[in-house]
Structure 1
Amino acid sequence: MNLHSITVRVISSTLNAPFMTHLQRVTRREALIIEVMDTDGRVGYGEADPFSSPWYSEETIQTCRLMLKEFLIPILLANRSLQPEKLDQIWAGVRGNHMAKSGLSQAIWDLYAKQQGVYLGKLFGSTKSTVEAGAVIAANDPERAVDQIETLEKTGHYKRYKIKISRKNDFELLTKIRHHFPDLPLMADANSDYSLADADHLCHLDQFHLMMLEQPLAYNDLTDHAILQKIIKTPICLDESIGSYQDAANAIQLQSGQVVTIKMGRVGGWSQAVRILNLCVTHSIPVWCGGMIEFGIAKAHNIALASLDGFSLPGDLFASHHYWKQDIVTPAIAIDQGMVMVPNEPGIGFVVDRPALDALTDHHEVYCKKVK
């Protein structure tokens, strides 16, 4: 793979509606769009989606920009025989910084798939023509949550609904939703708002017959989750706790939960995501593909990832129009009866809308390979 240049764009757009958790209220979203061009003029696209401040993870837009500029891109451009499957080895001297690595590795894999003339998912064994889509409800007010579900049920018929909860609103929210939708496939995401001292309280959530309770305890914990899972009936889903293959292996050994969500950005890109998926499949752990309020490029990569056979539960795969008045891929990502069509075109399978991308770009930098 002969590279010519790498472009990093900072883009931003206002959300159609605020995204609220107990940790943060997000009204405007930034992202890094990474374009890798080869010497034949083909372009691969990736997207890094840290938030603007470190409320979800230690990485931010600015730290990712720095890591890409000072370390990851120079290392990549200095490599004489680039092979996508060797990216983890190439960056072995850079610890952590998974979102920065993920965005750049996505672009490399997209470019490689285009060079091979094949859909990206098929490089990893994808055989699915559709994937199941799940929705996220991030509203503190129960009436608003019910309204959001009713709207989504009319437009997309999503296969499951994830409700953002906290210790302040969990019973009120879930009681209201269950009253209106007694049979709705429902899960709850706590974003680490509870501690093991809340075990009795969390046991009472069993009455809502949730598919799973996502990340109830600390974002970096595995041992307390293992204790909690022995106390509550609701399956625990690990999200933030799974930041690497080793985290997943430790969680399985400790029996810290019964479900895993894989976020490509959180674990460092395609190779690590697939390794964790294969590990979970080996141990019969149900897996689904998580989301990060992405733009269309990251969503396209997630669709390709979710199309792999090991993903058995609906992922966070919203339609383009849910978050954005104007997304950056075409055709727009759509949900039909709770399903997303898996494309078959080379690379990520979608075309990047360059005018839309340019309109959302706040800043960009170009890094060219030095010719000796």
Structure 2
Amino acid sequence: MRIEAAELRLITLPLKFRFETSFGVQTERHLIVLTLFGEGLEGYAETVMEYTPHYREETLPGAWALLENLLLPKVLGRDFANPEQLWAEISGFRGNRMTKAALEMAFWDLWCKSLGQPLWKLLGGVRQEIPVGISLGIEPSLESTLEKVGQGLAAGYRRIKLKIKPGWDIRPVMAVREAYPEATLTVDANSAYNLNDIGTFCALDAARLDYIEQPLAFDDLLDHAKLQSAITTSICLDESITSPEDARKALEIGAGRVINIKPARVGGILASRKVHDIAQSYGLPVWMGGMLEAGIGRAANIHVATLPMFTKPGDTSSASRYWQEDIIEEGLEATQGLMPVPQGPGLGITLKRELIQRLTEKSAYIA
């Protein structure tokens, strides 16, 4: 598969609601739409990092510069038999996994289209729909939190995730558990705590949570292992897992019992499958995380989540929860907590070109 040219477009999508986490408040989503051109076909991807390095170290300006000046020139005009060959070409550059993942994902889409096959099938997926839950930000009041939880359960979502931070943890979580005793609940701390807060997590054991997501530092494994040995609730690792090697080390030392896979965070689709396989070797589940993706990234996540160990509901809820209008034609909508997998070649999506053009703040064509 020959990569002949590429296009970058920086766009901003307004969110339908105010989304607060321990990082801060988000009201819009900034992303780069990457298109690869080759042999009469197009492959698509979107980036997930923001302007500021709050989630991990990468930033949107850095991703643009790296794609335009280094990664794309490295692969343009080249033939690659499969995604493994492309990854081998760019893997020597250290770090920047989210940026490299965008290039790899776009090539997956291009390559699958050249073979006339959907991504999930060539990846080894085993299901036609995936279970999904919702992630709720930190609400301005307890009443608003309970209302949003009720709405999510009424819509059929199979897991409710509550964002927490110091000062907003035990009380809202226990209130939700009391109001909805049978609901599958989880919490996500986004690295807002340390081992001095162990009492908080011992108290949360009483909430019968399915897991506590990334309670400690974004780059830590050792303290998570200490915390996991002190509480009964499973720890789910997110920001700490940036590669298959991280996953292996974390599970070896007992730093958690669940892994949240975000393909961009771990370096792309190939790396996601390797993290999945490592978890499978330990007999532990994974689930698909989310980073407020628009339609391109959401579709890619859905395809990856068809692998067999994605047994817990993920964050890939209906696109209409987030956007007045998505950047793809296909409506990625869950019904009773199940998200259908797009069935066309590659990602199985079609870009809304006029919308993307209207939203474009900056563009570049590289050939």
- After TM superposition, the score normalised by the length of structure 1 is 0.96
Deviation at 1:81, TM superposition (A): 4.0
Give deviations 1:345-370, integer Å, cap 9, x for gaps.
111112222222222221111101xx
Q: What is the letter of the counterpart of residue 31 of structure 2?
A: A
Indicate the larger mover: 174-183 or 214-223. Answer: 174-183
1:159 equivalenced with 2:172 (yes/no): no
Contact 1:118–1:345 (Cα < 8 Å) also in 2: yes
Matched with 1:65 is 64
Please give the alpha-carbon distance, in whole angstroms, between the structure 2 residues aligned to 1:127 and 1:216: 31
What number of residue pairs does the alignment pair up?
A: 366
1:281 equivalenced with 2:280 (yes/no): yes
Matched with 2:250 is 251
**1:269-308 correspondence to structure 2 within 5 Å:** 269-308=268-307
Please give the alpha-carbon distance, in whole angstroms, between the structure 1 residues aligned to 2:263 and 2:342: 19
Matched with 1:76 is 75
Give deviations 1:144-176, integer Å, cap 9, x for gaps.
22122222233x311101100012110121122
Please give the alpha-carbon distance, in whole angstroms, between the structure 2 residues aligned to 1:82 and 1:51: 32
Indicate the larger mover: 253-262 or 194-203. Answer: 194-203
SS in 2 for 1:274: helix
Please give the alpha-carbon distance, in whole angstroms, between the structure 2 residues aligned to 1:114 and 1:142: 47
1:123 equivalenced with 2:122 (yes/no): yes
**1:33-112 correspondence to structure 2 within 5 Å:** 33-40=33-40, 42-77=41-76, 79-81=78-80, 83-112=82-111
CA pair 274-97 structure 1, distance change in 2 beyond 3 A:
same
Q: What is the letter of the counterpart of residue 359 of structure 1?
A: R
Please give the alpha-carbon distance, in whole angstroms, between the structure 2 residues aligned to 1:6 and 1:94: 20
Contact 2:136–2:160 (Cα < 8 Å) also in 1: yes
Contact 2:80–2:86 (Cα < 8 Å) also in 1: no
What is the Cα-based RMSD across aligned positions, in Å? 1.2
SS in 1 for 2:224: helix
Contact 1:24–1:55 (Cα < 8 Å) also in 2: no
**1:134-213 correspondence to structure 2 within 5 Å:** 134-140=133-139, 141-154=141-154, 156-213=155-212
* Structure 1, unpaired ranges of 5+: none
Please give the alpha-carbon distance, in whole angstroms, between the structure 2 residues aligned to 1:298 and 1:315: 14
CA pair 132-93 structure 1, distance change in 2 beyond 3 A:
same
SS in 1 for 2:149: helix
Please give the alpha-carbon distance, in whole angstroms, between the structure 1 residues aligned to 2:7 and 2:122: 24
Give deviations 1:117-142, integer Å, cap 9, x for gaps.
00111111112111001100102332
Contact 2:6–2:34 (Cα < 8 Å) also in 1: yes
1:32 equivalenced with 2:32 (yes/no): yes
Please give the alpha-carbon distance, in whole angstroms, between the structure 2 residues aligned to 1:325 and 1:211: 32
Contact 2:260–2:289 (Cα < 8 Å) also in 1: yes
Please give the alpha-carbon distance, in whole angstroms, between the structure 2 residues aligned to 1:300 and 1:92: 24
Please give the alpha-carbon distance, in whole angstroms, between the structure 2 residues aligned to 1:15 and 1:306: 24
Indicate the larger mover: 106-115 or 309-318. Answer: 309-318
Matched with 2:350 is 351
Please give the alpha-carbon distance, in whole angstroms, between the structure 2 residues aligned to 1:306 and 1:355: 30
